[in-house]
């Protein structure tokens, strides 16, 4: 059977919610935002231990997750420019899938520890240095606010930048809550406010981490990315002129921003020509955000079934 491969059209990718063309200041913006948040996390951990505040440590854990996320986004920008090698023909794009999976697992462990300590503190309240909590949480509001401003320049043209911007704004809100805890303890002397808000922050982290783990694990196992319904892709391919059947349709993520598709199209009418194959790739990119489409054309379904039986393959 002849193999006809569509060209990978790399201009104008459409990946349903992922970034495609980074602005000129992408690397610099992420470098500054990352440096600010690393300094913030270090300060919150040190002074959280000194102040004996779980809420401050929980906020540090939350911000640490953001640091990892910023590093991943920045790293993906850098790695995407590396040249492929003989062994890694797709470059190291899948690292952007494995990294958030590891990040999610680390955050999950940290969140469980914070929640466990918070529950114990309800039974045995410990004095918290409210002044230190207020000062460091206020610093968190400032750092996250400045980071959001730095990232805001590209948020209208790059969805990845927009996501980072919104995350920084949300983190500023969490830090405001920690400031409120410090003020509440200073005003009322209620030490239970610290573990109570720690549990609330842990819940926020857990919700975000669960989604991160779920999505990264799905992609790591080769599932079709969210937002792409294989049944609709199959229907679109089956509706193409001259196509009588679609076999061996596979859709998977090459990275968190790039999706690949391979399939067999049964076309008894003969070779469709290069223009048809290019139109298939363009349609997959335009309608489903699939930027890497490879099509194998078969002239009879019987030939496909015979080849599948000989190879011991199941019909897809």
Residue 174 has a pLDDT of 76
Q: Tokens representing 258?
A: 């790039």
Q: Which CATH number fits domain 230-311: 3.40.50.2020, 3.40.980.10, 3.40.50.2300, 3.30.70.1350?
A: 3.30.70.1350
List b or e across 142-163, with b for residues whose CB sees 16 or more CB atoms inside 10 angstroms: ebbeebbebbbbbbeebbbbbb
The ranges of the chain annotated as CATH 1.20.1510 are: 26-220
Residue 3: per-residue pLDDT: 45
Unique residue bearing structure tokens 């470059």: 91
232 CB burial (10 A radius; 0-12, 13-18, 19+): exposed
Question: Which pTM value belongs to this model?
Answer: 0.62
Please give the pLDDT value at position 262.
95
Class of domain 26-220: mainly alpha
pLDDT, residue 156, reads 55
Q: What is the pLDDT of residue 10?
A: 35
Q: Residues spanned by CATH 3.30.70.1350 within the chain?
A: 230-311
Task: Give the per-residue pLDDT at 89.
Answer: 67
- List Cβ neighbours of 260 (8 Å cut-off, separation of 6 or more): 251, 252, 253, 254, 290, 291, 292, 293, 294
What are the pLDDT tens digits along the chain (316 aa)? 444 444 333 333 333 333 344 444 566 777 888 888 888 889 888 988 888 887 788 778 777 877 877 776 677 667 666 776 677 767 666 766 776 777 677 777 777 877 887 787 777 777 777 788 888 888 888 988 888 887 776 555 454 566 567 667 777 777 888 888 889 888 988 888 888 887 887 787 788 778 778 888 888 888 898 889 999 999 999 999 999 999 999 999 887 778 999 999 999 988 788 899 999 999 999 999 998 999 999 987 665 555 554 444 443 3
What lies within 8 Å, CB to CB, of 69 at 6+ separation is 100, 103, 164, 167
């Amino acid at each position: 059977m002849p193999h006809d491969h569509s060209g990978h059209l790399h201009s104008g990718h459409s990946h349903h919610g992922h970034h495609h063309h980074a602005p000129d200041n992408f690397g610099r913006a992420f470098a500054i935002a990352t440096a600010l948040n690393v300094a913030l996390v270090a300060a919150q951990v040190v002074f959280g231990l000194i102040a004996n505040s779980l809420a401050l440590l929980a906020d540090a854990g939350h911000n640490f997750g953001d640091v990892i996320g910023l590093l991943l986004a920045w790293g993906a920008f850098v790695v995407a420019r590396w040249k492929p090698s003989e062994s890694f023909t797709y470059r190291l794009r899948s690292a952007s899938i494995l990294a958030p999976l590891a990040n999610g697992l680390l955050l999950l462990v940290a969140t469980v520890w914070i929640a466990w300590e918070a529950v114990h503190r309800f039974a045995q309240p410990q004095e918290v240095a409210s002044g230190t909590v207020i000062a460091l949480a206020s610093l968190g509001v400032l750092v996250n606010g400045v980071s959001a401003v730095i990232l805001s320049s590209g948020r209208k043209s790059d969805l990845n930048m927009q996501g980072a911007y919104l995350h920084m704004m949300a983190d500023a809100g969490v830090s405001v809550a920690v400031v409120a805890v410090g003020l509440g303890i200073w005003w009322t002397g209620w030490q239970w406010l610290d573990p109570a808000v720690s549990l609330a922050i842990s819940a926020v982290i857990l919700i975000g981490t669960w989604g991160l783990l779920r999505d990264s694990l799905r992609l790591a196992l080769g599932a079709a990315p969210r937002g792409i319904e294989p049944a609709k892709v199959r229907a679109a391919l089956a509706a193409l002129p001259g196509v009588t059947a679609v076999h061996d349709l596979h859709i998977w993520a090459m990275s968190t921003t790039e999706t690949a598709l391979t399939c067999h199209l049964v076309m008894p009418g003969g070779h469709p020509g290069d223009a048809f194959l290019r139109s298939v790739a363009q349609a997959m990119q335009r309608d489903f955000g699939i930027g890497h489409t490879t099509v194998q054309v078969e002239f009879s379904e019987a030939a496909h079934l015979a080849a599948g039986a000989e190879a011991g393959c199941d019909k897809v």
